Amino acid sequence: MKTTTTTSPVPTDYYIGLDHTTDADTLALLASDANECVRQAVAANPATPADALALLASDSEAGVRLAVARHAHRAAILAALATDSEAVVREAVAHDPAAPAATLALLASDGDDWVRVAVALNSSTPADVLAKLASNREDWVRITVALNPAAPARAVAALAMSPASTPSVTLSRLASDGREWVRQAVAAHPATPAEVLAQLATDSAWVVRYLVAQNPSTPADTLALLATDSDGSVRVAARS
């Protein structure tokens, strides 16, 4: 006997909540909808008014709060979410360039490693906070600071001059991380082993391959491979 699998239909209000043309009053109403996926849709909608986002920022469901953290881009709301009980929500706040300096400073001392890494990568993180993170106890936090263009030159130089602070085994492990920005940090680090740079030279993200091409530690055979890369920027970097 043939069986069929049925799934619950997506409520119409979900699509209304996602629609950028939905009026503010309707979005505010849907922010209190009983269905979590509807509230997530409203939280992700850039047209959602600030008062509705503030309500969703205290939602009982972490998925809704995460959607707010990823899409709100409002300082007051991000500051409130910086103390969320879920690390993934705090990490989203730490990634947002709209996060206030005081919020980023707070998250720089977060107990979750990935939250601190996100702060280290954020272009809005104050120089003094980046300098503090450059001496963080975790290797991947320190690595990421070196990628941040806002990092103080002295902190970056200290990282570059102290390859022992980022052991090759750590860099090798991070080279397979699912997060592109972590692989970018490894590709740019001067202590990354040649075999790891060769691995990253075939990364799916062109920015990772570009950083490998720019890395002074990249061996000639890997540069030769990158000189034929499908991306023009990577080819130019490998040949220069």
Q: Which residues in the chain show pLDDT less than 70?
A: 1-8, 153-167, 170
Question: How high is the pLDDT of residue 1?
Answer: 45
pLDDT in tens, 71-119: 989 999 999 999 999 999 999 999 999 999 999 999 999 999 989 999 9
Question: How high is the pLDDT of residue 174?
Answer: 77
Distance CA 85, CA 62 (A): 9
